[in-house]
Amino acid sequence: MENVIERIDPQLRAAAEKIESAVAGIVWSDQTLPAIRAMLAAMNPAEPLPDVMVEERMVPVGGDNPDVKIFIINAADGQKRPGILHSHGGGTIAGSAYLSVPRLQKLARDEGWVIVTVEYRLSPETPYKGVIEDHYAALRWMHANASELGLNPDKIAVMGESAGGGNAARLALTARDRKEVPLAAQILIYPMLDDRTGSTVKVPDFIGAILWTPQANQYGWSSFLGMPAGSDDTPPEAVPSRQTDLSGLPPTFIGVGALDLFVFEDTEYARRLIEAGVPTKLLVSPGAYHGFDQLAPDADISKEFAAVQMSALRSAFK
């Protein structure tokens, strides 16, 4: 840990030591998962803002799937504003859309946008097919109800962090293939894109040492896939990095820290998007670990990260 700390941006070190103290000794397993979920939920105590409207709604998913809950932020009938379909992080196994609401309310208020965030089913209770359908149902509903939401149906971006970034990438691929909902952009914040990272694909010891580790990634992906991470027969539709064709996707922003476990898969995905002709902006923040922008939002590097992300969104919505 001492050697890793030396590689971290000085303004991010205190937050790194704090989060490492909180998660020290975690063993990722089905037996420990309830306690992990409770711990992560307790680390996000913010309450929704009183001055930005939030509405809960249940959206039909179809088939044998239960309806999915969404939170609609800053809707206003009669307008035609840009909108974001958001997916929360948590390694596919934890987290909650509700916990993202205060942060998304601030974004919606400051920019005048409509945001829908999805309370998708978690793994291992729900493997990847159900998670894909939860997100797609929310996106299709958002597009179909654009007038009610005060939304421009041609200016919808998908966005997410970590596992949510992987969900956003998966959703962009699904929307491309089903050809029902056009997307203006995909905003992928240190996205979880490749089940092989940390299992069959190794990384240097100082990569992925803070918060989201190779062992956590193996458990998260294995839970999501319903099979061991890195398996030869992993279905490509579940793993964005295993998709052979990335053409036809919307303009993309990918941001990741240089010490994040996902740095190599994220930069490779950006390279492949560029190769496929997709307008792509990539930001790799030196000395930054997984989740740094949320753990230390006042650090200069976190502010820069947020500013570049916002520039990408504003450009997509012009």
Measured torsion, CA atoms of residues 48, 216, 294, 35, in degrees rounded to the nearest 10: 40
The pLDDT of residue 315 is above 90: yes
Q: Whole-angstrom Cα distance, residue 16 to residue 210? A: 7
The residue-averaged pLDDT of 288-292 equals: 98
Tell me how far apart the alpha carbons of residues 149 and 151 are, in angstroms, rounded to a whole number.
5
Q: All domains of the chain, ordered by start, with CATH? A: 2-316 (3.40.50.1820)
Using only C-alpha atoms, the chain has a radius of gyration, in whole angstroms, of 18
pLDDT confidence of 215, banded at 50, 70, 90? very high
- For the stretch 125-183, pLDDT in tens is 999 999 999 999 999 999 999 999 999 999 999 999 999 999 999 999 999 999 999 99
Q: Tell me how far CA of residue 46 lies from CA of 75, 84, 189, 300, in angstroms.
A: 21, 21, 21, 23
CA dihedral 141, 145, 150, 153 (to 10 degrees): 70
Q: Over the stretch 36-51, which tens digit does the pLDDT of each residue have?
A: 998 888 877 678 999 9
Measured CA to CA, the distance from residue 276 to residue 310 in angstroms comes to: 24
Handedness of CA 121, 141, 273, 95 (dihedral sign): negative
Which residues sit opposite 255 in a β-bridge?
A: 189, 283
Q: Is the pTM of this model over 0.85?
A: yes
Distance of alpha carbon 28 from alpha carbon 18, whole angstroms:
19
Cα separation, 199 vs 114, whole angstroms: 38
For 290-297, what is the mean pLDDT? 97
